Amino acid sequence: MRSEDPLDGWLFERRLLGSPAGRTREGGEPRRNLKRLEKLLSDPHDKKVNLYESGIGPWCRTLLDPADLPLAESLYHRVVATGGSGSTGVQEALLDMIGGLSNPASATFWLGLVDLRRPRDPFAPRRRAYALAALALLAIVHKTPEAWNTLGSAARHIDAEVRALAVYYIGCACLESDSPVPQDVQAQLADIAQHDKSFTPRFQARMALLLAGKRAPMDYPGGVYHFRIGGGRGGVFSRTIALQSKQTLEHLHLAIQDALDWDNDHLYSFFMNGKSGDQRYAFACPFERDNPPFTDEAIIGELGLSTRHKFIYLFDYGDCHEIIVEVTEIHAKGEKGVRYPSVVESRGAAPQQYPDWDD
């Protein structure tokens, strides 16, 4: 079974088996499979072709010969254009084989996949993830300015989610690389962290800077953020909590617990893009020492938050209290004499921490 993140899978294989050049190939089987796929795609009479008959599919973990790289890339585009039974599985297998080689000659191929899509194309997001993960692997393995710059070019994409994913993989490359991150890449991250209009690339750029050993920019030093919490079980309620920009998500967690009069007796996480379970945007509580980054390290003013941005506070992984948090106001300075965090507005009864499910 393939890793959810292609980069994780490729890095695991490299650590386990060494570089592709040092591995033993399985005879000529990969090449024969490619030739069978080429024949299936070239048959004008078979309108119900099953591409799995090529021997390429989800079970396929064979290593591609570098000499077959141009053929594999060409066949990939033909599979996308032709479709047919098994096309999604064959696409994933081909991308896995091509990406595992980490060949710089594939950089143009990967960049072209970022925007490749067909009508009714549910595989497009997965294809994009493969492409950006493969560009990150090139930067990690080859450490050349060209490899880093190719990945950086995707971080300038017009689509905010593409920029965010590209920057996320720049962060992965920063973490995995055993050589200094190029200065121009650091400068690009700093620019995105401060000036990108969308939260997701801005946030990912700040995380990538930290992985590169640089501090994320502090917004509104000495300022105060207002967070309104609501949703969850128990009817309509809200609490608005003010925190200083220098305080952390751990402070926000404790303030929420106090505002709801709950017992702080369970694990919790924040998901900063509003999608619970998305670990790329998650901060775990400090007790989960094997699941960084942690809330007591997440400084409010360094997260790239803006007004009207919403994210999720998940408390108690058993009962799963999911509370929506919205940034409602940001003030350049705090009020004198106010001790932060502080509750500035309270409406409705708080939900029960342990509801009686029989009622």
Phi and psi dihedrals of 148, rounded to 5?
-65, -40
Q: Where among 211, 236, 255 does a domain terminate?
A: 211
In this structure, the answer to whether residues 101 and 12 fall within a common structural domain is: yes
Domain check: are 201 and 255 in the same one? Answer: no
Q: How many CB atoms lie within 10 A of CB 74?
A: 14
Cα dist from 303 to 175, 200, 306, 309, whole Å = 19, 10, 9, 11
For 305, the domain range is 224-347
CA atoms within 13 A of residue 325's CA, in its CB half-sphere? 27
What are the pLDDT tens digits along the chain (359 aa)? 456 899 999 999 888 877 665 454 444 688 999 999 999 998 866 667 899 999 999 887 778 899 999 999 999 999 999 888 899 999 999 999 999 999 999 999 999 999 998 888 999 999 999 999 999 999 999 999 899 999 999 999 999 999 999 999 999 999 998 888 889 999 999 999 999 999 999 999 999 999 888 889 999 999 999 999 987 555 688 999 999 999 999 999 999 999 999 998 899 999 999 999 999 999 999 998 888 899 999 999 999 999 999 999 999 998 889 999 999 999 999 899 899 999 999 998 888 888 765 54
Give per-residue burial for 276-311: e unless 16+ CB within 10 Å, then b: beeebbbbbbeeeeeeeebbeebbbbbbbbeeebeb
In this structure, are 150 and 258 located in the same domain? no
Residue 202 lies in a domain: yes
Residues 23 and 59 placed together within one structural domain of the fold: yes
Q: E strands along 221-293, which residues?
A: 224-230, 238-244, 268-271, 282-284
pTM of the model: 0.90
Q: Is residue 278 part of a domain?
A: yes
Last residue of a domain, one of 190, 211, 232: 211
d(CA 317, CA 265): 11
Q: Are residues 107 and 157 in the same domain?
A: yes
* Structure confidence at residue 28 (pLDDT): 66
Separation between Cα atoms, residue 152 and residue 174, nearest integer Å: 12
The conformation of residue 50, written as its DSSP 8-state character, comes to B
Determine the pLDDT at residue 21. 54
If we measure between CA atoms, which residue out of 246, 242, 240, 245 comes closest to residue 338? 242
Taking the CA atoms of 72, 76, 82 and 86 in sequence, report the sign of the dihedral they define: positive
H or E stretch covering 176:
helix 160-176
- What does the alpha-carbon distance between residue 106 and residue 74 come to, in Å, rounded to a whole number? 11
* 312 within a domain of the structure (yes/no): yes
Asked whether residue 356 is domain-assigned, the answer is no
Whether residue 292 is found in the same domain as residue 163: no
Burial class (CB in 10 A: 0-12, 13-18, 19+), 6: buried
Per-residue pLDDT at 1: 43
In this structure, the answer to whether residues 127 and 276 fall within a common structural domain is: no
- Same-domain status, 74 and 132: yes
Q: Are residues 261 and 207 in the same domain?
A: no
- Quote the number of domains for the chain: 2
Identify whether 1 is part of a domain: no
Is 358 within a domain? no
Bridge partners of 321?
Answer: 315
Asked if residue 80 and residue 22 are part of one domain, the reply reads yes
333 shares a domain with 239? yes
Q: Do residues 238 and 195 both lie within one domain?
A: no
Question: The CATH number of the domain where 96 resides is what?
Answer: 1.25.10
Whether 120 maps to a domain, the answer reads yes
Q: Which domain-ending residue is among 151, 177, 211?
A: 211
